[in-house]
């Protein structure tokens, strides 16, 4: 952790974290750093919270975040690699087409996103540390945008990420990847810049645990929900499909 912090001082993420989190909230940040040392980052899932019981998972003030490195490589993701984009959720899911691309069918991000949608949680494809700071941690700290979240990320990032969660007062459920993840600062920095050739993966036990958490947080069936992009985050919203009769009526009386 100390090595990560020292390296980060020379990077944009480091001074952005200082500007948005550490400088305005020094005591909270120090406490977060000290509390992060209580967790065992060598095992499986980790649940973090500043207080018990903390906020529950699910609803609009929850976010589910997954690393971009989960995107499939063969066949490759149609949305590209190191970005926040998901063609399936942004365009294909409710397009009326029954032909789901092969890359989407096998994509773990798609499966987790569908569960997040049922829980009415925001969905976030995580890229760089700076974007996570500005999209998740800072808004949570400044305006209470998020109070809980579930995240899949590389084991190397677990403790720094935990510090961010605790400092921004987000109750978190963290699941490390089991294959293909970054093992040291050098490979982490490459991935943080978008250079990640390996596809990460998680095991069956992690899959079951995530499903149990998100199914338990489910609010409604996903049939009446879709994601709408707000900045880099996909947010759930209600939608209605116009019936054929009302469409024809609108056409008949000149309404659009």
> CA nearest 155: which of 209, 111, 91, 200?
200
Q: Do residues 35 and 166 touch, judged by C-beta distance below 8 A?
A: yes
In order, the DSSP letters of 137-179 are: IHHHHHH---SEEEEEE-GGGHHHHHHHHHHTT-EEEEEE-SB
Per-residue pLDDT of the chain (256 residues; tens, 9 = 90+): 656 665 566 677 888 999 999 999 999 999 999 999 999 998 889 999 877 777 789 998 999 999 999 999 999 999 999 999 999 999 888 776 678 899 999 999 999 999 999 999 999 999 999 999 999 999 999 999 999 999 999 999 999 999 999 999 999 999 999 999 998 989 999 999 999 989 999 999 999 999 999 999 987 665 568 899 999 999 998 654 443 333 333 333 443 3
Number of domains in the chain: 1
Is the separation of the CB atoms in 128 and 192 below 8 Å? yes
Q: Which residues pair with 179 in a beta bridge?
A: 201
Instruction: Print the domain residue range for 247.
Output: 2-252
Q: What integer pLDDT is reported at residue 98 of this predicted model?
A: 72
pTM: 0.87
CA gap 158, 196 in Å, rounded: 18
Longest alpha-carbon distance in the chain: 69
CB contact at 8 A, 147 and 169: yes
């Amino acid at each position: 952790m100390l090595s990560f912090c020292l390296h980060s001082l020379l990077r944009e993420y480091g001074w952005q974290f200082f500007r948005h989190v550490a400088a305005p909230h020094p005591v909270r940040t120090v406490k977060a750093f000290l509390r992060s040392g209580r967790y065992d980052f060598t095992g499986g899932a980790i649940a973090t919270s500043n207080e018990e019981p903390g906020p529950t998972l699910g609803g609009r003030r929850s976010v589910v975040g997954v690393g971009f490195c989960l995107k499939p490589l063969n066949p490759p993701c149609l949305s590209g690699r190191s970005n926040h984009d998901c063609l399936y959720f942004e365009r294909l899911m409710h397009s009326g087409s029954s032909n789901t691309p092969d890359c989407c069918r096998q994509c773990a991000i798609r499966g987790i996103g569908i569960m997040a949608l049922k829980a009415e949680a925001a969905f976030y494809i995580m890229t760089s540390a700076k974007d996570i700071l500005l999209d998740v941690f800072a808004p949570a700290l400044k305006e209470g945008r998020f109070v809980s979240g579930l995240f899949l990320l590389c084991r190397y990032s677990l403790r720094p990420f935990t510090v961010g969660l605790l400092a921004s007062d987000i109750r978190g459920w963290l699941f490390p990847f089991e294959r293909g993840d970054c093992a040291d600062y050098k490979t982490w920095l490459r991935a943080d810049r978008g250079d990640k050739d390996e596809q990460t993966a998680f095991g069956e036990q992690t899959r079951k645990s995530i499903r149990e958490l998100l199914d338990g947080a489910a609010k409604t069936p996903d049939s009446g929900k879709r994601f709408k992009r707000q900045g880099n985050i996909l947010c759930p919203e209600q939608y209605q499909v116009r019936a054929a009769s009302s469409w024809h009526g609108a056409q008949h009386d000149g309404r659009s």
